[in-house]
Homo-oligomer: A and B are copies of this chain.
Amino acid sequence: MAVARKIKASLTKSSMIRRMFEEGIILKKKHGADKVYDFSLGNPNIEPPEEFKKELINILEEIIPLKHGYTPNAGLVETREAIADKINKVQGMKLSADNVIMSCGAAGALNVIFKSLLDPGDEVILPVPYFVEYPFYIDNYRGIVKFVKTNEDFSLNIESIEEAINENTKVVLINTPNNPTGKVYCEKNIADLAGLLNRRSSELFKSIYLVADEPYNEIVYDNLVDPGILKSYKNAISACSYSKTLSLPGERIGYIAFNPETDHGADLQNAFVMCTRILGYVHAPVLMQRVIARLQGVKINVSVYQKKRDLLCDGLAKAGYEFQKPEGAFYLFVKSPIADDVEYAKILLKKNILVVPGNSFGGPGYFRIAFCVDDATIINSLPGFAEAIKECR
């Protein structure tokens, strides 16, 4: 055997999202890119705000010694301070730079968090549907995933989380605003979860961590405010990134932030720093750290995504599709008109429409549309969506 057995096994069942992506390339070659409606990938189509380029060029022109040199493993102090200040302002908290560790995107942040926290066999509770990569991240550190159901409207089902908690529970992992559902957990839902975790932590004489993946935290619609999780729970850890809020997914810049009131805070901080180092990240890319320090409070124009959401939701509703209207992020999780969502994705594929079956997210019977695409893609896809549902009736 060349590669590790576990990797070999995973290779054989390659990601459905990736397969859709490859189907898309073939279709685009055949029919032309404008005739294929690719909703498979969450690659934002909005350019970063003007300020990003401006500050980046400023930094390149300024005299800064070792501008491209190593930073501390945790990241530059000025960047971590700027992020702490922003969180304090928004959430009314008292984080310092010590509570922020820069990361290679939220995916890097989650890997560092799980490497830091999980002993082999520790359990991570994960509400379904979930972002496809989470089980890999947890398995990387020999954690065990315990899936729990969510409510009809995709809010957290506190009872099912309570049932799943036992002496092996180390982490509850949530993602808000959510991929694939677009759900934003409201303050009460988070507070109920925090109440449960406080109670069960003390009953079990252990710290159960609430880890939230929050890369879409500033992409919320209809004047909704994402309450965030940090202030609601002592042992809360946020994995965040600028991939979506500044449209920089390729630059791999994000951070870990944790509640300063956490149990064993110094250990946590040191573990995050060390795991950033030994996982080979070393630290987050320095040029991006420098620019992010200057861009707190800047974000892309969210109304552009809101318009896309409305275009899509109106069109699909008219065609007879059922779904919960997304409150944030740029995903729509639609009920499949037939029970078999993989089959339905194939029907849509015949209309040159690429979606990802809900199956991939632990949510069979649904499919995901990533609507971070041109308006034209949405508009021109609607007849195909309408034909497909008609054919199934």
Contacts and interface: CB of A to CB of B under 8 A. Distances in A.
Interface of A: 1-8, 10-11, 14, 41, 43-45, 47-48, 52-53, 56-57, 60, 66-71, 104-105, 107-112, 115-119, 122, 133, 136-137, 140-141, 207, 247-252, 262-264, 267-268, 270-271, 274-275, 277-288
A50 to B, nearest CB: 12
A172 B107 CA distance: 30
B282 A105 contact: yes
A49 to B, nearest CB: 11
A327 to B, nearest CB: 24
A115 B250 contact: no
Contact of A286 (B68, B71, B250): B250
A69 B46 CA distance: 9
A47 B283 CA distance: 19
A67 to B, nearest CB: 8
A119 to B, nearest CB: 5
A3 B267 contact: yes
Given A60-B53, A279-B111, A70 B287 contact: no
Nearest to A7: B271
A2 B263 contact: yes
A285 B250 contact: yes
A5 B286 CA distance: 31
A48 B68 contact: yes
A271 B115 contact: no
A244 to B, nearest CB: 11
Nearest to A284: B252
A111 B250 CA distance: 20
A140 B48 CA distance: 36
* Of A10, A69, A137, most B-chain CB atoms within 10 Å: A69
Given A53-B60, A69-B250, A280 B3 contact: no
B280 A119 contact: no
Given A275-B7, A279-B140, A249 B68 contact: yes
Given A2-B117, A11-B274, A110-B280, 9 more contacts: A1-B119, A3-B271, A4-B119, A4-B271, A7-B115, A108-B281, A112-B280, A252-B281, A285-B288
Contact of A279 (B47, B56, B279): B279
Contacts of A44: 69
A264 B48 contact: no
B104 A280 contact: yes
B7 A274 contact: yes
Nearest to A109: B280
Contact of A280 (B43, B45, B111): B111
B249 A70 contact: yes
29 contacts: A1-B119, A2-B262, A2-B263, A3-B117, A4-B118, A7-B115, A7-B271, A7-B274, A8-B267, A8-B271, A11-B267, A14-B270, A43-B66, A56-B60, A57-B60, A67-B250, A68-B248, A69-B249, A108-B280, A108-B282, A109-B280, A112-B280, A133-B277, A136-B278, A140-B279, A251-B285, A279-B279, A281-B281, A285-B288
A341 to B, nearest CB: 23
A47 B110 CA distance: 33
Contacts of A140: 115, 278-279
- 3 A-B pairs closest in CB distance: A250-B286, A2-B264, A111-B280
Given A105-B282, A285-B251, A4 B66 contact: no
